[in-house]
Chain A
């Protein structure tokens, strides 16, 4: 049995990658010694967080290295043909015909000045000449289920939705009928429902054409839905590879385990997430790249690079993989106190609009909800649902067109400036993008202590002292206090933003998509921190997000926002188990889940 599978695998090998290494021009390694094979018609997932080298690996399969990088060694063979790794002209001969690439962001990867048909035909002409381009464009559009009407062919990218743009990009990749498709985060940045449609499309292509695919993503849950085999990368090294089910249910590498434990899933409620301690370091150093963050490291991990070893059905690059504990059932978060007494925040009949080129766009329409003392309420919606506008209105940054916002029994003025200091102090907002929310010219400690002065009137020395305490409370090492934001990672910056909110001693924290710009393991650590702070300080949270998994983990109650209106609200345990509104049902069905895939 075992022998048979190996033989048939070798016989139908489509892609073979051996000892692929990519470095920066200065010699710093980005990807080191990556090897794997892919059978015809197989879907292979390549998972990793920022800086893991997954995109670089994927591009190297096309013989391409991004500016500033160089493929230094390795062998890539597709259907018996060697991909030229150093000769751009020769590599071009293979692209389109043997292998093609679907990039991440359709909004920036489609030329806005070209019509859809031109964009797709360009790819065909580049590889096959202009003859037969028309028919090929139509066939490619059909395969991704886009209308093949002349009206649609003449459209420009901005006239399409995000999902349609992504389909056009896939059509570009398919137009020369390659044997292998490399998809680089094709659904990142799309709404969950659209993402589910695109994934179905990819699944469909896979089954219909027996097309081999490499799916690159940071999202293990998405990969688990479509890939048969998965490979996990960390710090430029392939650390674990195996059948998807095996890797998810019984991770053998401590990093894979950490990743699995940090991914929130909406099918398991109130699960405590565990982040991976420390910060990912790009590039390969001596020994195992995960060594500085690993909980089961031994002395030689720091000096010797572990080889790939077969463990069960997977191969793992770890000396101590036999010690990796099973995934197990992780502990539950105690459900916060149910709202009792007067709520901290009550929003009544809120109407918020945007003026856009003379038109009025309604962002929030008769939105009413409350947040109780010590409660965590999640406001869930897709992009454009108005959730950020609601947060900004509560923070006094956007003037509402109607309705009332009552904080701690007092009605709030529309503009933050007109609110009394005590009320401004009670409600603090944390923004989505940690790369934008800290003043780049101010040191961390000064940034954190500022609200202590503005909102509480503390002296500079008192503020500095409290800021220092808060920085250690959000688990930032002391040495970061005197640094500038540019020297911090995304997760660290978001912790600084949390500390800056906490120093005001607020009753309510409004968190606007605060983890969406972070890697999953970092997201888990930030959520972990918020859960702890809630338990310690009795904070109330209004948690705004599009990620249902995060909601399931952290929230007590949930509000589902659709086109500016709340379409369903209730306790998380009810809404997630027995959703009533069709939109909620659609959202829950579309959200990828590790848990379901593992079953």
Chain B
């Protein structure tokens, strides 16, 4: 599979290592955490010691245990929201880009309206009207991120839908869904994947920002974003309580982006790299 060729590039390898580490911490962390993340185990704001390698937070909870526990919700929320955003955005972009009827302007203008709305304001409204839960968080972030993806998919679809092989499919009377699924989608996949990394980043940052503002998960849940918000007052006393979760969020976004770049790079190159004579007459 050409899609797996990214693993051979330097960027791809770095991405796998960084992302593997973050995902490992998020998944296995809770199993190896020395303490209960919500338990008050010691005096507050201790600096690192043998018993508490990253010290304790403002309430006297073990920072290491909270870091090991706090990845799950960040990773899961960000990925779920990103996948949701891609599902919505790709569907809208494909249908609007391929349709030559009123569907196109109606969908795309709706997208423009959502794009022009400040994301955090949107969350404030959602959170105050529906209340905060994981589901509202995921759906909310997906709706905020979908328009950007829809725009990219839309223009890629417009470009592809006038190419010869799509016209050939139209001429033989393929159904619209077959044309979108078989002819167009596989050929715009590289521009979609190229944006996956960036969207995950936005999604992580949104999850973090929303949690930081207290609109997402509520204490005492362990969550990297929430930890930054809880411990920022004590940053002068135990810097690790803020830096450790911040570093994990940074590693997550960097890892995803390295990987996304590597994948889209190898996908995009596949046409050129083939050992074929791709010159047109006279060039």
**Judging by beta carbons under 8 Å apart, are A218 and B277 in contact?**
no
Contact of A431 among B168, B182, B278 (CB under 8 A): B168
Q: Does B283 contact A (CB under 8 A)?
A: yes
Among B133-147, those with CB < 8 Å from A are none
Chain B interface, number of residues (Cβ within 8 angstroms): 27
Which residues on A sit within 8 Å (CB–CB) of B270? 486
**Judging by beta carbons under 8 Å apart, are A455 and B282 in contact?**
no
Return 21 A-B CB contacts under 8 Å, by A number: A50-B277, A50-B280, A50-B281, A279-B277, A396-B170, A396-B171, A417-B170, A417-B173, A421-B173, A424-B172, A429-B168, A431-B167, A433-B280, A435-B278, A435-B280, A441-B186, A447-B165, A486-B270, A486-B274, A489-B277, A500-B168
Please give the distance in Å from A455's CB to the nearest CB on chain B: 6
Q: Does B163 contact A (CB under 8 A)?
A: yes
Central interface residue in B165, B171, B276, by most chain A CB within 10 Å: B171
Which residues on A sit within 8 Å (CB–CB) of B118? none
Residue in B closest to A420 when the chains form the complex, CB atoms? B173
- Additional A-B contacts beyond A279-B277, A489-B277 (6; CB < 8 A): A50-B279, A50-B282, A50-B283, A417-B173, A419-B173, A435-B278
Please give the distance in Å from B17's CB to the nearest CB on chain A: 30
Measured CA separation A428–B167 after assembly (Å): 12
A470-501 vs B, CB cutoff 8 Å, 1 = contact: the mask equals: 00000000000000101111100000010010
Which residues on A sit within 8 Å (CB–CB) of B189? 441
Residues of A within 8 A of B (CB): 50-51, 55, 104, 185, 188-189, 218, 279-280, 282, 392, 395-397, 416-417, 419, 421, 424, 428-429, 431-433, 435-442, 447, 450-451, 454-455, 484, 486-490, 497, 500, 504, 516-519
**Judging by beta carbons under 8 Å apart, are B172 and A441 in contact?**
no
**Judging by beta carbons under 8 Å apart, are A218 and B170 in contact?**
no
Residue in A closest to B183 when the chains form the complex, CB atoms? A439
Which residues on B sit within 8 Å (CB–CB) of A488? 276
Contact of B173 among A51, A438, A454 (CB under 8 A): A454
With A424-B171, A424-B173, A486-B270 already in contact, the answer to whether A437 and B164 are too (CB < 8 A) is yes
Residue in B closest to A415 when the chains form the complex, CB atoms? B170
Contact of A436 among B163, B171, B174, B186 (CB under 8 A): B163
With A185-B282, A433-B164, A440-B187 already in contact, the answer to whether A282 and B271 are too (CB < 8 A) is no
Which residues on A sit within 8 Å (CB–CB) of B276? 486-489
**Judging by beta carbons under 8 Å apart, are A282 and B165 in contact?**
no
Which residues on A sit within 8 Å (CB–CB) of B283? 50, 55, 104
Measured CA separation A595–B264 after assembly (Å): 52
Among B156-200, those with CB < 8 Å from A are 163-165, 167-168, 170-174, 182-183, 186-187, 189
Measured CA separation A305–B2 after assembly (Å): 39
**Judging by beta carbons under 8 Å apart, are B282 and A439 in contact?**
no
With A417-B173, A424-B171, A504-B172 already in contact, the answer to whether A517 and B271 are too (CB < 8 A) is no
Which residues on B sit within 8 Å (CB–CB) of A437? 164-165, 168
Which residues on A sit within 8 Å (CB–CB) of B281? 50, 188, 218, 490, 516-519
Which residues on B sit within 8 Å (CB–CB) of A104? 282-283
Measured CA separation A441–B183 after assembly (Å): 8
Please give the distance in Å from B162's CB to the nearest CB on chain A: 9
Which residues on A sit within 8 Å (CB–CB) of B165? 436-440, 447
**Judging by beta carbons under 8 Å apart, are B275 and A451 in contact?**
no
Of all A-B residue pairs in the complex, the 8 with the closest CB atoms, nearest first, are: A437-B164, A436-B164, A441-B186, A486-B274, A439-B165, A431-B164, A188-B282, A395-B171
Measured CA separation A489–B189 after assembly (Å): 24
Which residues on B sit within 8 Å (CB–CB) of A396? 170-171
Contact of A416 among B164, B170, B182 (CB under 8 A): B170
**Judging by beta carbons under 8 Å apart, are B187 and A439 in contact?**
yes
**Judging by beta carbons under 8 Å apart, are B172 and A451 in contact?**
yes
With A50-B279, A517-B280 already in contact, the answer to whether A397 and B167 are too (CB < 8 A) is yes
Residue in A closest to B176 when the chains form the complex, CB atoms? A417
Among B62-115, those with CB < 8 Å from A are none
With A433-B164, A487-B274, A487-B275 already in contact, the answer to whether A416 and B280 are too (CB < 8 A) is no
**Judging by beta carbons under 8 Å apart, are A484 and B274 in contact?**
yes
Which residues on B sit within 8 Å (CB–CB) of A451? 172
Which residues on B sit within 8 Å (CB–CB) of A429? 168, 171
**Judging by beta carbons under 8 Å apart, are B173 and A416 in contact?**
yes
With A185-B282, A454-B173 already in contact, the answer to whether A51 and B277 are too (CB < 8 A) is yes
Measured CA separation A486–B277 after assembly (Å): 9
With A440-B187, A441-B187, A486-B278 already in contact, the answer to whether A455 and B271 are too (CB < 8 A) is no
Which residues on A sit within 8 Å (CB–CB) of B173? 416-417, 419, 421, 424, 454-455
Please give the distance in Å from A596's CB to the nearest CB on chain B: 23
Which residues on A sit within 8 Å (CB–CB) of B170? 396-397, 416-417
Central interface residue in A55, A280, A454, by most chain B CB within 10 Å: A454
Which residues on A sit within 8 Å (CB–CB) of B183? 439
